[in-house]
A = this chain, B = another copy of it.
């Protein structure tokens, strides 16, 4: 069924169709093979409608990302037992996601898009972990582990954790058990 025509006001239906189509296509073909024409056809929208409201391909992706259409499974860092157990638990959940080639592909797509779009880049950390969630959990753990002290710069530590995972994703190294163990050990200072 074709979208309704609204007259001289922006069509919300068209906007959502574009974002939805973008999300589907990133999942299916990845950012590299994502095209404006492809989005327009999939969304049943004219190309001009996209060019009217978005400045570039990456801007469409950015909005889809912000709307939460690209990665629905936000992994909250749990706060149950010890910081060691909680980090293990979160990283294992993340590793589970990355085993799904499609979702791993979406992550790679977002990384690629981030190099081209500042807004996407600023959401990069949240792709792997809701920033506040991770920072809060680490903050709460201060004093609990040798490397988590009062003077430890927590947000830099969060960057390091996310960055380490990022490097593994990009280098196509699996986030296996020993990698997780090492990461937690390096963060906490306990073996």
Contact = CB atoms under 8 A, between A and B. Distances in A.
Given A182-B156, A189-B149, A191-B151, A162 B171 contact: no
Interface in A85-109: 108
Contact residues of A: prevailing secondary structure: helix
Given A160-B164, A164-B156, A166-B166, A185 B125 contact: no
B108 A115 contact: yes
Count of identical protomers in the assembly:
4
A73 interface: no
A42 B64 CA distance: 38
A159 B151 contact: no
Interface string A126-153: 0000000000000000000011010111
Interface residues of A, number: 41
A55 to B, nearest CB: 15
Nearest to A190: B151
Contacts of A160: 160-161, 163-164, 183, 186
Given A115-B111, A183-B156, A167 B171 contact: no
A68 B118 CA distance: 29
